């Protein structure tokens, strides 16, 4: 491996002990009612808070892909710590979690990067970012062994979303890919206000309305730190003829902590054909 991106949140955002981590995720899955999705799953949206807060919501998405097989996973998240232009790809090596290494599909990463000059090699964007790593243990338990391409969006404007979605859909024409968007919703509003704000975003997610979500985010009527990744997942799904959607679960941090004065919203959604 040329580069291994070590875990930076194991033991804090989720358990650092492999056995405990597997047990926790299995427990989250058991708490999700069985749901039949009559079609091929192309895209998922899952939250990226610590598992204590959003793990149960994320499980509603990941349980749907248990034991399924994909050629690769395209994992898209926002940048919380580093400002940069475009989209950063981690194109060589692997990410490490307590459950082992998840290898980058280097051929696919190179092909994706060749589709757009906006996709850049900027390792600093990945060094401390949690939005991608937090998804990996769920994917490891659900899929077993898989390869992936990690993408972090420095820009989340409409043009960047469209270009990235176009690049992903072009390389997906001969492959079975799963696109996973990592995002939380509104931050630090009282429960009632948060639910009203999040309701706008949820409507767009449920209706597979990426352009409407972009407009609501720009107007400030909806909030999502990973709005761009969610839009990319929906645009890519549409380009791949996955025009069916389901909102799987919504909750906020107050449902766990009991503190309704300042909450963070979480959602899980699926796109399929």
Average pLDDT over the chain reads 97
How far apart are the C-alpha atoms of 91 and 112, rounded to whole Å? Answer: 10
Using CA atoms of 149, 268, 257, 265 in order, give the dihedral in degrees to the nearest 10: 90
Instruction: Work out the average pLDDT over 187-194.
Output: 97
CA angle 87, 62, 234 (to 5 degrees): 45
Q: What is the CA radius of gyration of the chain?
A: 17
What is the per-residue pLDDT across 255-273, written as a single tens digit (0 to 9) for each? 999 999 999 999 999 999 9
Distance CA 5, CA 264 (A): 28
pLDDT digits (tens, 9 = 90+) for 26-69: 999 999 999 989 999 999 999 999 999 999 999 999 999 999 99
Q: What's the whole-model pTM score?
A: 0.96
Number of structural domains (the chain) is 1
* pLDDT band at 2; cut points 50, 70, 90: low
Q: DSSP character for 63?
A: G
- Confidence (pLDDT) at 42: 98
Rounded to an integer, what distance in angstroms lies between the CA atom of residue 208 and that of residue 233? 10
CA 100-103-106 angle, to 5 degrees, is 170
pLDDT digits (tens, 9 = 90+) for 215-249: 999 999 999 999 999 999 999 999 999 999 999 99
Cα 59–63–66 angle (5° rounding)? 140
Enclosing domain of residue 23 = 4-32+41-186+194-272
Residues sharing a CB contact under 8 Å with residue 161, sequence separation 6 or more, in sequence order: 210, 214, 228, 231, 232, 235
Tell me if 265 sits within 8 A of 185, measured CB to CB: yes
pLDDT digits (tens, 9 = 90+) for 133-183: 999 999 999 999 999 999 999 999 999 999 999 999 999 988 999 999 999
pLDDT of residue 173: 85
CATH number, domain of 166, equals: 3.40.830.10
Whether the pLDDT of residue 1 is over 50: the answer is no
């Amino acid at each position: 491996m040329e580069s291994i991106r070590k875990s930076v949140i194991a033991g804090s955002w989720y358990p650092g002990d492999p056995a405990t981590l597997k047990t926790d995720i299995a427990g989250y899955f058991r708490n999700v009612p069985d749901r039949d999705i009559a079609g091929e799953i192309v895209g998922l949206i899952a939250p990226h808070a610590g598992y204590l807060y959003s793990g149960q919501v994320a499980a509603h998405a990941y349980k749907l892909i248990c034991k399924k097989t994909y050629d690769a996973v395209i994992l898209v998240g926002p940048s919380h710590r580093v400002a940069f232009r475009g989209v950063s790809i981690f194109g060589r090596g692997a990410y490490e979690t307590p459950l082992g290494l998840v290898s980058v599909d280097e051929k696919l990463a190179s092909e994706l990067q060749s589709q757009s000059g906006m996709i850049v090699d900027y390792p600093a964007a990945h060094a401390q970012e949690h939005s991608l790593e937090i998804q990996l243990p769920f994917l490891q338990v659900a899929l077993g062994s898989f390869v992936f391409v990690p993408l972090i969006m420095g820009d989340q404007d409409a043009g960047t979303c469209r270009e990235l979605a176009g690049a992903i859909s072009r390389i997906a024409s001969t492959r079975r890919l799963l696109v996973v968007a990592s995002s939380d919703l509104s931050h630090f509003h009282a429960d009632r206000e948060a639910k009203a704000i999040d309701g706008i975003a949820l409507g767009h997610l449920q209706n597979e309305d990426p352009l409407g979500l972009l407009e609501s985010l720009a107007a400030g009527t909806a909030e999502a730190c990973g709005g761009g990744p969610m839009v990319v997942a929906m645009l890519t799904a549409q380009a791949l003829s996955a025009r069916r959607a389901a909102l799987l679960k919504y909750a906020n941090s107050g449902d766990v902590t009991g503190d309704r004065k300042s909450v963070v919203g979480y959602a899980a959604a699926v796109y399929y054909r």
